[in-house]
Structure 1
């Protein structure tokens, strides 16, 4: 991935984390995976977050963006050019590694296993979302227990809430984007209303907090 200048992070006093000790706790956890789910407004939000991560970011990342199949490969390639970390559309059998973000392919489902391997499955017609945040989050909870740092960004609906619930049940961390910086405050609101958010951050601050939590 090509080097890119990180956007300035402008914090707001009223956007303080829900629990001030979140970052300290995060540092002790040694996260094995960062999982980010988003929908409407997600392409810009993901770019804002990922361009703030250094090339030596120590955790693998999985990205779930509601997007048709024809667009995810090009989107991943664009992010890869803009970011210091590497970004690619996930393929079946890809191996998670630090500093690599794998984007779920449109029209399919992405799961992760405890060996650090990605599984790409056909999109289930019974599911509204392909890819679905809940499915990836749920597999991360099963495979990595309390070592997942998950983030729910802007988006319509409530995809991610049930997956976040599973992550919380095994002791993992869940962050939500705040209302003021969302294009659509649907998915993050579902997390907050279900009292699943360990912290609520403005979009401009999420990248910085990821670095603090994982480095």
Structure 2
């Protein structure tokens, strides 16, 4: 790929996690500085009722504004949107969050794949996706779609995962660009954003 003539702006960060995810997500989000100049969309496998408290806790610890997503929210930079438990979070043109209660994917709702795949069709090469600790294979198909649309794909390394399931399956697709320890993911994302 020849990026010499045209600089790609990477300003959409997608994060998916399951078991062990809340602490991992907190490490990534609190590692960002205010001038990240990107929007962050998060799917954490959690039942309904828990995601609002999770978003509020992150909001207190983080420089960026963290919200539990609502249907119709416009995606804005320097905001973090957490998918509400019990709802898939998808992205529609021109960058609007939609929530739905379509059937679970891989037994979960929200599903990482739903977010990654829908965002890829809207934002294509502007995306950096991250699959963090968790059981199962949610996020693998989405990782493929992000890479096929010229986004950048990251997974958490085995050593720092509580459960090396989702990152492992995503890595095994052959579509992962970087394998990174949890405490280095925020800085890795920031270094990639304007390359």
* TM bin (shorter chain): over 0.9
3-state secondary structure, aligned to 2:168? helix
1:152-193 CA distances to partner (integer Å, 9 max, x unpaired)?
000000100011111111111110000000000000001111
Match of 1:166 in 2: 145
3-state secondary structure, aligned to 2:36? coil
Distance in 1 of aligned mates of 2:170 and 2:140: 5
Match of 2:116 in 1: 137
Runs of 4+ in 1 over 4 A off after TM superposition: none
Distance in 2 of aligned mates of 1:35 and 1:85: 15
CA contact (8 A) 2:104 2:111 kept: no
CA contact (8 A) 1:137 1:164 kept: yes
Match of 1:30 in 2: 9
Q: 1:204 aligns with which of 172, 183, 186?
A: 183
CA contact (8 A) 2:11 2:193 kept: no
CA contact (8 A) 1:58 1:214 kept: no
In 2 relative to 1, CA 114–32 (structure 1 residues): closer, same or farther, beyond 3 Å? Answer: farther
- Please report how far the alpha carbon of residue 114 of structure 1 lies from its aligned counterpart in structure 2 after TM superposition: 2.9
Q: 2:163 aligns with which of 172, 184, 192?
A: 184
CA contact (8 A) 2:104 2:110 kept: no
Match of 1:214 in 2: 193
Give 1:19-58 correspondences, 5 Å limit: 28-58=7-37
Q: Normalising by the residue count of structure 1, what TM-score does the alignment of the two structures yield?
A: 0.85
Residue 67 (1) aligns with residue 67 (2)? no
- Please report how far the alpha carbon of residue 194 of structure 1 lies from its aligned counterpart in structure 2 after TM superposition: 1.3
Relative CO higher for 1 or 2, CA cutoff 8 Å, sep ≥ 6? 1
Distance in 2 of aligned mates of 1:198 and 1:206: 13
- Please report how far the alpha carbon of residue 95 of structure 1 lies from its aligned counterpart in structure 2 after TM superposition: 1.1
Q: Normalising by the residue count of structure 2, what TM-score does the alignment of the two structures yield?
A: 0.93
Distance in 1 of aligned mates of 2:154 and 2:106: 24
Match of 1:151 in 2: 130
Provide the aligned length of Structure 1 versus Structure 2.
Answer: 191
Unaligned runs of 5+ in 1: 1-23
Match of 1:118 in 2: 97
Deviates more, 1:56-65 or 1:119-128: 119-128
Residue 104 (1) aligns with residue 83 (2)? yes
Distance in 2 of aligned mates of 1:98 and 1:54: 12
- Please report how far the alpha carbon of residue 214 of structure 1 lies from its aligned counterpart in structure 2 after TM superposition: 2.3
- Please report how far the alpha carbon of residue 41 of structure 1 lies from its aligned counterpart in structure 2 after TM superposition: 0.4
